[in-house]
Amino acid sequence: MRFPEHPVELTLDQCIKCNICVTKCPVTAVTDLFPGPKYEGPQAGRFRMPYGTSPDKSVDYCSGCRVCNLACPTGVKIAEINARSRARMVEQGKFSYRTRLRNNLIARSELLGKLGQPLAPLANALLSNRFLRQGIEAAFGIHQEAPLPPFAHYRFSLWFHRRVDPYRSDKKVVYYHGCSTEYYEPRVGQAAVQVLEALGFEVIVPPQNCCGLPLLSNGEFPAARRYHASNLHNLIEFARQGIPIVGTSTSCTLTLKEEAIELLDYFDADAQLVARQTFDINEFILSYHLTDSFSHPLKPIPLTLAYHAPCQYRAHRLGIPATEVLHLVPELHIIESNCDCCGIAGTYGYKKEKYRIAMDIGNPLFNFVRQVNGPVVICDSETCRWQITHGTGIPAVHPIELLAASLEIRVDGPLERII
């Protein structure tokens, strides 16, 4: 993978004004507050370059889901153009102090995790209190019904480093767990580590921090650049040794692969090497032809479950590797969603002014999940899982958890109660 070293705005001249992106945009379909990807991206972008008009505030209603990018027949980087316009608005002071405070608060998932996880029972009780959530909405603009995830009672990294007699092998893989696994869903990391070990890999978990995507999505580029630089510092030596970097968060791996590089113009050799060595966990299993390498046969899981491929996952342009891996599990029947987006779009659906938009976008998916009526839903993205559960009341799990259960690896959480 080699990135063209020029700003994403230069792709706007590839726009042929076909309007396919507008017809596919899930935000435009439910609100008039966002006129559409073509109008806010390449069309308005022509007037903004290089020193033209300032971005219109309606660009902030772009959720960054990348559905427009996937629909575009000529490869215009529409979502990235909009994201950089939002960053320009931040730089120009176009957002109020309260809005920027709110955006920075919800974009710093690592900081929130460090503060809240050690006090998980208290923090979870407070954040589930209806009156406190109303106060938070009034003070910060975080919608009182938005699906804030509960903090876990332990951190993934502590579980990993305290294990007795960890698996050793000449084959090694680095696991990039991300904030959600570290502070909210350590069970996903536990499943991933044990599946990778069942495939014969020694798992390395180096120091790491937030990938920075929530900050990028909120236009806070300088802070995101510091996060990305820190991750490169922690990962580059493994990449130079040819050790794969594998993640279970589709948004984190996409950020390491291309999002940070393209949005921040971070085209140096180290960033590109780490990008080439980064894999989604299901992509890794398929790319390395590991489907016949499990240490023992897979146990049947006789369930019919809905599966939703998040828009950030489809943006990897890999097909849908999760379903290919899950088809290895005997008697597991997967029904794939044809919905474009769950609506949450990272931090988008947490914002008071965007919560209703996010829920309206997610309604077709929620209806699909209810029709399948499985005991759990399968989805690769953590925020999508939380949104699906919020919209349907049905718990959601990562595909790797089902694979772990089929390998008879003990899995905490929703699967523990049904398998």
Tell me how far CA of residue 323 lies from CA of 110, 188, 282, 344, 380, in angstroms: 30, 17, 9, 22, 11
Distance CA 256, CA 208 (A): 12
CA 290, chain centre distance (Å): 24
Residue 52: how many other CB atoms lie within 10 Å? 10
* pLDDT, tens digit (0-9, with 9 covering 90-100), for 354-395: 999 999 999 999 999 999 999 999 999 999 999 999 999 999
Give the DSSP H/E element, type plus range, for residue 83.
Answer: helix 78-91
Average pLDDT estimate for 261-267:
93
* pLDDT, tens digit (0-9, with 9 covering 90-100), for 277-313: 999 999 999 887 777 777 778 999 999 999 999 988 8
**Residue 79 and residue 108 in one domain:** no
User: Looking at residue 383, what is its pLDDT?
Assistant: 96
- 315: containing domain: 304-417
Residue 289: how many other CB atoms lie within 10 Å? 8
Domain termination site, one of 254, 287, 320: 287
Q: What is the mean pLDDT of the chain?
A: 93
Distance CA 345, CA 369 (A): 18
Percent of the chain with pLDDT over 90: 84
**3: in domain:** no
**323: in domain:** yes
**1: in domain:** no
At 4, the pLDDT band (50, 70, 90 cuts) reads low
User: Looking at residue 39, what is its pLDDT?
Assistant: 87
**Residue 262 and residue 189 in one domain:** yes
Residue 199 belongs to domain with CATH number: 1.20.1050
Domain termination site, one of 287, 319, 345: 287
**2: in domain:** no
Residue 321: how many other CB atoms lie within 10 Å? 22
Sign of CA dihedral 74, 78, 79, 83: positive
**Residue 86 and residue 104 in one domain:** no
Give the DSSP H/E element, type plus range, for residue 32.
Answer: none
**Residue 163 and residue 56 in one domain:** no
**297: in domain:** no
Q: Is the pLDDT of residue 2 over 70?
A: no
**216: in domain:** yes
**Residue 249 and residue 348 in one domain:** no
Q: Is the pLDDT of residue 52 over 70?
A: no
Q: SS3 for 140? A: helix
Q: Is the pLDDT of residue 75 over 70?
A: yes
At 3, the pLDDT band (50, 70, 90 cuts) reads low
User: Looking at residue 50, what is its pLDDT?
Assistant: 58
Average pLDDT estimate for 77-106:
94
At 1, the pLDDT band (50, 70, 90 cuts) reads low
* pLDDT, tens digit (0-9, with 9 covering 90-100), for 157-214: 999 999 988 899 999 999 999 999 999 999 999 999 999 999 999 999 999 999 999 9
Q: Is the pLDDT of residue 51 over 60?
A: no
**Residue 74 and residue 102 in one domain:** no
**Residue 63 and residue 124 in one domain:** no
User: Looking at residue 56, what is its pLDDT?
Assistant: 81
User: Looking at residue 53, what is its pLDDT?
Assistant: 65
- Tell me which residue of 257, 263, 250 sits closest to 235, measured CA to CA: 257
